[in-house]
Amino acid sequence: MAEAEKTTAPLAEVGKISRWLSQNGFEHESLGTDASGVEILKVEPEFLVPFCTALYAYGFNCLQCQGAYDVGPGEELVSFYHLIKVSDGADRPDEVRIKVFLPRENPSVASVYWIWKAADWQERESYDMYGIVYEGHPDLKRILMPEDWIGWPLRKDYISPDFFELQDAY
């Protein structure tokens, strides 16, 4: 194929939050925007806490949602954080979504509980359903499944047990 015929994929548009982070030395990758125009930023796991601390200082004082998802069997797990700036008089608060891609084997990332207390139960749910360990979380244990449950039910490669046990059904 001739050099002139090659086409390259367009780079994701860099938003104002991504530019501010880059200007202040916070490495990340811009993943563009979602359908609502919210910037999506990819951060390496080891930089999550300093990155989120910078965003908190920049005004993102509310963790609206933390969750996780499975990219696919044998692929990575993703822990995501949807942050907003809550301020008086704003018609629409600024929003940003952070994504951290984790290996399937021993997925681990630092907890953001110490920045936003709202991460408490949300990180516990992500741990319970996907097996992502949030290091430094004050009470990381199962929240939806029984404590002795084996496996991570929302992973795409999870095999459901072929038995059901009724407990306290009387």
Domains, the chain, ranges and CATH? 11-135 (3.30.460.80)
Work out the average pLDDT over 89-102.
90
- For residue 167, give every residue at least 6 positions away whose Cβ sits within 8 Å of its Cβ, in sequence order, or none: none
Whether residue 155 has pLDDT greater than 70? yes
DSSP annotation of 4: G
CA-wise closest residue to 74 among 101, 103, 99, 45:
103
| φ, ψ of residue 55 in degrees (nearest 5) | -65, -35
DSSP annotation of 15: -
Whether residue 123 has pLDDT greater than 90? yes
Work out the average pLDDT over 135-147.
94
Q: pLDDT value at position 13?
A: 63
Q: Is residue 32 very low, low, confident or very high in pLDDT (cuts 50, 70, 90)?
A: very high
Kindly state the percentage of the chain with pLDDT values over 70: 86
CA–CA distance, 80 with 133 (Å, rounded to integer): 14
CA–CA distance, 144 with 124 (Å, rounded to integer): 9
CA distances from 99 to 75, 78, 138, 168 (A): 15, 6, 22, 40
Q: pLDDT value at position 161?
A: 74
Q: Is residue 9 very low, low, confident or very high in pLDDT (cuts 50, 70, 90)?
A: very low
For the chain, give the mean pLDDT. Answer: 88
Kindly state the percentage of the chain with pLDDT values over 90: 74
Work out the average pLDDT over 92-98.
92
Coil/strand/helix, residue 81: strand
**Beta-carbon count within 10 A of 72 CB:** 11
CA–CA distance, 36 with 91 (Å, rounded to integer): 15
